[in-house]
Structure 1
C-alpha cells in the first residue's frame, strides 16, 4: 500500500461534513477510518433521510431506480443462498435494513432471523417478517451452531470491534455453514478514479475498507476460506453516480453511468469490481 493511499483524507459528504483519514491496518492490510467515532456516537452519523437502506422511500428518480435494482438484486441473492446444500434452511441476515431480503427468503421457505440496530428500519422489517428482526444485542443470545447461512450485505464495513464480531458470527454458523459478505472494493477502477470523492468510502459510517487480500487474511484468522467470489455489477453505477455528485457538486447522470460502465469493463479483466460478494465456508 502506497503512502499516498494510506494518507488519504475523506470528507463525510452525507451528514457531518467532517474530515477523516484512512490508515492501513498492519495486521490485515485493510484501511481504517481515523478517528473512529465512539460506539455511542455512531448513530449520529446515520441521521439522514438520504440513507436509503433505512427507508422504503421513493421520493425521487434516484430512490426509485435504487428500489428497482434492489428487486433484481434480491432475486440474485436468493439464487445464491438457494445454491447451498442445507438441511434446515436457517438464515441470519445481519444489518437487514427494512427486511426485504429476509422477506424474500422467508417466502421461499427459509427460516429467517435478522439483526438491525436502527429502530425505524427494524420496525419496518418486523412488519414484513412476523417479528423476526432484533437489535444488535441479540447476536450474543443466539445459540451456537444455529444457522446454515449468515449474510452481511454491505454491513461488515460498519461493524465496530471487527475481530470480536466475526468470531461471534463463526460461532453462530453450523459446521460447513456459509458466511456471505458483500463489501466495497477500494482496489476497483471507480475507487481509483474518484479517489477522495469515492462514495463507497462513506466515512465514518464505513469504519473499514477492504480489498480481496485483506478479506482473505481477516477470515483466515478464524479458519474460514473464500469459497466463491462474485461481483455486484450495479454497485459500480450507483457508487459512480454518487461520487460524481460529491466531486462536481451536481448529478451528472451520463458521466456517472459511463464511469460505472468503465469500472465493470475493467473488472471483467482484473476481477476488481466496485463491490464483491465473498462466500466463506465454515470448517
Structure 2
C-alpha cells in the first residue's frame, strides 16, 4: 500500500515531498556530477540528510545519495494515487505557472523561429505529470510527446490521448534530432545523473533546437536567507543548482545559453502582500528569484 507523502516544515508552510522511499534505500557516495571532483565541504544539514558543496566547481548535491534504481522506485511505487490526486487538484494553478514561465522564456519568439524554418514544432515535456501543458501545446499545433515515470502517465495517456512514455528519458532511445523543443520543469534536481540527462537532451534535439530547464535556484535570495530551512532543501532534491552551475552543465555539453530569468522573492505567507510584491519584483530584476529558468540552444 502506498504511503501518504511526507511533509517538511519550512517555518511558514509545509512542502510536500512525493518521492516516498520504498523500504530501506541503498545510498552511496558519488563524485561531483558537474566536474567529477571528490572533495566536498558540508553545506546544508536537513533533518536526516545533508548537502555538500564541491570545492572545485561549487555544485551543491546530496552526498551520499540513493542509487538510481531506488529513486525510480520512489516515483513508480512510493507515490501512489496521492500524487495523481494532488496534480489533478492543483492542475489549473500549475498550468498557469508553466505558461508564465514559457512567456518569460520567450516562447512566442521561439514559435516564430520554428515557423520560419517550416517546422511544425515537435516538443518533448520530460516530467509532464498529467499532460496539461502538452494538451495546450497540441492545441497550438505542436506535435507533442511526454515522459513521466509516475502514475500520472497513465492518466495523460487515457484521459488526454497523449504519447507519454513511462521510462526514464535515456531508456526511451528516441532517434537523433527527434524534437525541436525539450521542456524540463522542476525535474533535473531529482535526477541521479544530470550530466547524462543533458547529453541525451542534446542528442534528441534537432540542430538549432531549444531546451528550457526550470529548477530551484540555490543562488537566490530565499535559499541564502533560509539555508537548511529553504523550502527546496528536501530529500527528493538530489541537486540544488545555482545559475552558475546549471549554466556550466549545459554549456559543457554543447548548449549555448540564450536566456536566464528567475522569479519568487518571498514565499506566500512570509510577508504582507505589498512587501511580497516588492520582493518578487526585486528578485526578478536582480536575477535572485527562488526559481530559475534557463533557455538553451543546440548548435545550428
TM-score by length of structure 2 reads 0.73
Matches for 1:97-108 after TM superposition, within 5 Å: 97-108=129-140
Q: Does 1:277 align with 2:268?
A: no
| CA-atom RMSD in angstroms | 2.8
Is the contact between residue 148 and residue 168 of structure 2 (CA under 8 Å) also seen in structure 1? no
2:123 is aligned to 91
Q: What is the CA-CA distance between 1:116 and the residue it aligns to?
A: 0.5
Residues of 2 paired with 1:133 and 1:68: CA distance? 20
Which structure shows the bigger proportion of residues in helix conformation?
1
Deviation larger for 49-58 or 32-41: 49-58
Distance 1:124 1:137, change over 3 A: same
- Structure 1 unaligned regions, length at least 5: 12-18, 59-65, 242-252
- Write out per-residue CA displacement over residues 186-233 of structure 1, whole angstroms, 9 at most, x where no aligned residue: 111111222211111222x11111111111211121121210112344
1:33 pairs with one of 58, 62, 68: 62
Residues of 2 paired with 1:88 and 1:5: CA distance? 48
1:264 is aligned to 280
Is the contact between residue 226 and residue 281 of structure 1 (CA under 8 Å) also seen in structure 2? yes
Distance 1:134 1:268, change over 3 A: closer
Which structure shows the bigger proportion of residues in strand conformation?
2
- SS of the residue corresponding to residue 155 of structure 2 reads helix
Matches for 1:32-71 after TM superposition, within 5 Å: 32-43=61-72, 45-46=74-75, 47-48=78-79, 55-58=86-89, 66-71=90-95
State the aligned residue count: 249
Q: Does 1:209 align with 2:240?
A: yes
2:99 is aligned to 75
Q: Does 1:169 align with 2:201?
A: yes
Residues of 1 paired with 2:294 and 2:287: CA distance? 12
Residues of 1 paired with 2:181 and 2:256: CA distance? 15
- Write out per-residue CA displacement over residues 107-141 of structure 1, whole angstroms, 9 at most, x where no aligned residue: 111100100011x1101121344240002246442
Distance 1:160 1:100, change over 3 A: same
Distance 1:45 1:259, change over 3 A: farther
- Write out per-residue CA displacement over residues 141-198 of structure 1, whole angstroms, 9 at most, x where no aligned residue: 2100110000000111112222111111100000110010001101111112222111
